[in-house]
Structure 1
């Protein structure tokens, strides 16, 4: 959320290439047989652009930077061209393949079409160093060739690609295009339990060089595969101990198992994890309350209309201790509002059935939770604020990135302290929820059993990909519904999905829509009515509701947003 009226940077992100990631996430790379080969020809671009075709003469080979060898691909987007370079690769039917490439520079995308099953893709934002992209797929019963592609994004910097590989059965296309076969990765280390509930155990471990995925074993049996370095194993029995191990995988095979750690689930009496917000309204309206004066109407907590079920106090501030936060009421900026009045107003809202939480981050927030120590500091400091001011929970609005492993650890630790009544909300930007592999989405899924709601910000954004693979422009019913569909079909429950919009044109640099558009989107998702061109495959009557930045800008506009959207949310089925 913006701390002022200053326009936040508009992110221009991928459309077509994010489809498979948005809908299905990235599957862990399956171990490959010893006879698997790299079927890509001229995979390291050592023979120039031989075997590759680039759109609009956008590709060339360069000698620096390179990942290996003496050459790499440089793709330069221009105008309406995204610098796509493709190669037709021979494959075998009904076979598993792992696609990867090393990329650097501007936004970079890697994918495959013509698989005969589900085409896949993956991407990364701009990167100053080489980064490996990896995904995998299975060919169809009659598939004998696929098209491998890389590309950048419109108006963005040039990207570099090197050492492209499509490992799997030899398709007979005389691939073997350089870079060499990968070796089986080492076994992971550092496996530890980061949190428990009565039915789940959360794990984290150190990354392994060359690994493209990890398998998690419970008492010797594989239970899940992931691409990151954390996982939550659910469906467990309360008050029971389990042994867990992890292996690393890539196209060459699977490592040995890590050392075993024991995780013991909590009892059913509560207090050690779970909750999901206790008595939050079934259909809830969230509003951010500004602890500063930026030209919007200054408010006390008592001034916030009753239409708001969750009031997020914006914002806590970072301290000199990594991960720790504090809160300082801006009494001078808020007309002499005292701490005692503030605390009393919070208690009055809670007596009226509302929740008041502390928001962490915002546009300028720089709270970093990147290791176990900072995770503990985060949990301890937020819990201290809850005890001091009476907050019901926490909102995660870190717009400068977060670490899924350690934010998960921090929130589970906080849940263990606060118990089942803890309210946890999140306010990611649109790009943060385009893919289940993104850190925000991973964090939400990791804490699904204790998460209250994700209110994605449908503003200050460029055009985005919907769950149907089409591109939708900000500011329409379709933009709201087709992007919400990604979360709804990507693993979150409908009760954990809310629509975040500005309360007025002053509340954000772009993306304001009238309350009518918000209400139509809510109807489309919950009832299947008032949709635009996008119509979800099913309805989600349990949809949590909507959020706005901010209660202050809403008040400046006569509370038009909360009067209309609030009533509509509370009337959902």
Structure 2
């Protein structure tokens, strides 16, 4: 969300509009492999070194935005994470030793945003392949033949301009040894250690364990039966009975086989939760500015009754990673903090939810460890207790770590209880696929999530769920992008349309309230659609959000007066 008025296009990102065409021309791939059924000569080896990134970026040359992570991984304990930025596609390359006049199979596993894999300097025809992104690990494969005098080839991977970060792991370049040797064949991994039970709900238990070198997957066992297979070092087992004790174990696996099961850990689910958040079936969310940027300055009491959820913008970070505080800005005109708290209490008495928003355009909170996750949960809960906030809004626009943000939100939920309101406001690029960190977080906390109000502005053109590119500012842009979330696993009640309240509220992407109403009708009633028509209707769609109540007030509350009643009258 904007803390200041942006100039048109100030926050535009290069969307995939041109990427699809250019990708076909520049297709670069990272994962190429022969597959289980491909026969190879006995002497063939994987001539790539540090193919699983277990030794960081050793043997690889990468441009900015690249590093290794411990989660998610396809195998072992590490994987490449590379984030394109500006004119940098986050390219990682390695020169491998090859034999002349020989054929090699190149492969790798990728996850996340656009990923390209290829080989250059082959002496014959250079090759490449690519993936438009995937929420699961996907293997890319291609082959190349070396020239008569070729003794080295460069293999590489990269992402694409303006797209989400990609992950890559377990690269292989199988063929005759060119003199440099290769990575050894896998052996059965060791038994996982450190299994612990984390957050529990009435129907789920979250498990965490230590990674095992050489493992490509982990099997989760409940009461002796395998119930889940994951690639990372955590899992949430769902579908459990309330107030029931379960025993869990984990084993590690790769192509060579499966390890013995870990020591068992026991966890008991909580009792059946009480009623959910007191948010209407169809709700309007508005961000209230705790600063003066030229929009109308207002107190919470001045926010129109059409708003069901009011997100106070924003919390501030501290020098302690993950920790947040709130500082009431004198510019908004409150005589005291007590007066502000009284307004929150009055809104809640009127049936509204007032929540604290974390992040925004200039704000950021780092949650990338267990310690920072706990610091966030503790400090956010402290603010809820001190001010009377009903929950939190996640509006982090500078990147998130889904693993630790999920842990933080679950810890907070365990403290606050089932009435906590949890909203999110990702940018369009953050919800293009279920493999993005934001989407993964939303799905991981689906059982406690109230609504995701994606920001349909300041983004440029984006892909819809039908694979077509749509320009912002149209009914099609709103409906085709909402469709990605609706088909990607979120419940319709957890999807809202986030738009600016006035042309001054954002640099680009403002649409007339009539367009918002048409989009809502298209998604819920199959009327008012543009060229894109959803395959079915979603009558439970939560509603709409706007930045901000202040910019709405500046324009005479035209947005809430038009969109509010329409949302509340949805089926």
With normalisation by structure 1, the TM-score equals: 0.74
- Selected match of 1:522 from 506, 520, 531: 520
Aligned partner of 1:466 among 454, 464, 467: 464
Query: Which residue matches 1:170?
Result: none
CA contact (8 A) 1:287 1:312 kept: yes
Distance 2:201 2:169 in 1: 44
Offset from partner CA, 1:131-154 (integer Å, 9 cap, x none): xx941599xxxxxxxxxx977535
Between stretches 555-564 and 333-342, larger displacement belongs to 333-342
Alignment match of 1:486 (pick from 460, 484, 501): 484
**Which residue matches 2:56?**
none
On the 8 A contact 2:48/2:173 being kept in 1, the answer is no
Q: Does 1:335 align with 2:342?
A: no
User: Quick one: structure 1 residues 460 and 6, their matched pair in 2 at CA, closer, same or farther if it must change by over 3 Å?
Assistant: same
Q: Secondary structure at the match of 2:446?
A: coil
- What does residue 244 of structure 2 align with? 240
Matched, 1:535 2:533: yes
Q: Which moved more, 1:423-432 or 1:212-221?
A: 212-221
Deviation at 1:505, TM superposition (A): 1.7
Secondary structure of the 2:327 match is coil
Question: Which residue pairs with 1:401 in the alignment?
Answer: 399
Following TM superposition, by how much is the alpha carbon of 1:247 offset from its aligned partner in structure 2, in angstroms? 3.8
Please state how far the C-alpha of 1:459 moved relative to its aligned partner.
1.3
1:200 counterpart = 2:204: yes
Corresponding residue number in structure 2 for 1:437:
435
SS of 1:285's partner is strand
Shift of 1:549: 0.8
Q: Distance in 1 between matches of 2:230 and 2:282?
A: 32
Deviation at 1:493, TM superposition (A): 0.6
Give the unaligned 5+ runs of structure 2: 21-30, 50-58, 67-83, 92-104, 119-128, 142-155
- The reply to whether residue 121 of structure 1 matches residue 131 of structure 2 is yes
Residues 281 and 525 of structure 1, relative CA distance in 2, 3 Å threshold: same
Partner residue in 2 for 1:570: 568
- Give, in whole Å, the separation in 2 of the partners of 1:244 and 1:37: 39
Give the deviation of 1:355 after TM superposition: 0.4
C-alpha separation between the residues in 1 aligned to 2:413 and 2:110? Answer: 39
Q: How many Å separate the matches in 1 of 2:415 and 2:173? A: 47
Q: Does 1:311 align with 2:313?
A: no
Residues 398 and 428 of structure 1 are in contact (CA less than 8 Å); yes or no, is this contact kept in structure 2? yes
- The match for 2:108 is 100
Q: In the aligned structure 2, how far is the partner of 1:179 from the partner of 1:12?
A: 39
Normalised by the size of structure 2, how large is the TM-score?
A: 0.74
Q: Distance in 1 between matches of 2:392 and 2:512?
A: 28
1:498 to 473, 476, 496: 496
3-state secondary structure, aligned to 1:370: coil
Q: How does 1:382-397 map to 2 (within 5 A)?
A: 382-397=380-395
The equivalences for 1:537-556 within 5 A come to 537-556=535-554
Secondary structure of the corresponding residue to residue 239 of structure 1? coil
Residues 162 and 485 of structure 1, relative CA distance in 2, 3 Å threshold = closer
The alignment partner of 1:346 has SS state of helix
Q: Contact 1:37–1:176 at 8 Å: present in 2 too?
A: no
Distance in 2 separating the partners of 1:425 and 1:102: 29
What is the CA distance between 1:488 and its match in structure 2? 1.0
Query: Which whole-Å CA distance do the structure 2 matches of 1:226 and 1:14 have between them?
Result: 30
Closer, same or farther: CA 516–199 of 1 in aligned 2, 3 Å: same
Q: Secondary structure at the match of 1:501?
A: strand
Aligned to 2:160: 153
Q: Does the C-alpha gap of structure 1 residues 561 and 396 become closer, same or farther in structure 2, counting only changes over 3 Å?
A: same
Looking at structure 2, the residues matched to 63 and 219 of structure 1 have their Cα atoms a distance apart, in angstroms, of 43
Q: Provide closer, same or farther for how the CA distance between residues 556 and 269 of structure 1 changes in structure 2, counting only shifts above 3 A.
A: closer
Q: Is the 8 A contact 1:285 1:569 kept in 2?
A: yes
Contact 2:12-2:458 at 8 Å conserved across structures: yes
Map 1:28-67 to 2 at 5 A.
none
Alignment match, 2:122 = none
Task: Give me the whole-angstrom Cα distance separating, in 2, the residues matched to 1:506 and 1:216.
Answer: 51
Shift of residue 12 of structure 1? 2.6
Cα contact 1:43–1:162 (8 A) shared by 2: no
Match of 1:225, SS? strand
* C-alpha displacement of 1:386: 0.7
The within-5 A match list for 1:216-227 is: 216-227=220-231
CA distance in 2, matches of 1:98, 1:430: 33
Is 1:322 the equivalent of 2:312?
no
The answer to which of 282-291 and 234-243 deviates more is 234-243
Separation of aligned partners in 2, 1:405 and 1:542: 29
Q: Which residue pairs with 1:3 in the alignment?
A: 3
Partners in 2 of 1:367 and 1:82 — Cα distance?
24
Rounded Cα–Cα distance in structure 1 between residues aligned with 2:306 and 2:138: 45
What is the CA-CA distance between 1:45 and the residue it aligns to?
9.7
Question: 1:535 deviation in Å?
Answer: 1.1
Deviations 1:330-389 (A, max 9, x none): 02x113442122111111111111100001111122211122222111111111111111
Matches of 1:313 and 1:42 in 2, distance apart?
58
CA distance in 2, matches of 1:571, 1:500: 18
- In structure 2, the CA distance between the partners of 1:231 and 1:122, relative to structure 1 (3 Å rule), is farther
Shift of 1:164: 5.2
Kindly indicate whether the alpha-carbon contact (under 8 Å) linking 2:19 and 2:160 is maintained by their aligned counterparts in 1.
no
Structure 1 counterpart SS, 2:291: coil
1:306-333: CA deviation from partner (whole Å, max 9, x where unpaired): 11000000011111222111101002x1
Q: Which residue of 2 aligns with 1:288?
A: 287
CA distance in 1, matches of 2:558, 2:362: 28
Return closer, same or farther for 1:350/1:64 CA change in 2, 3 Å cut-off.
Answer: closer
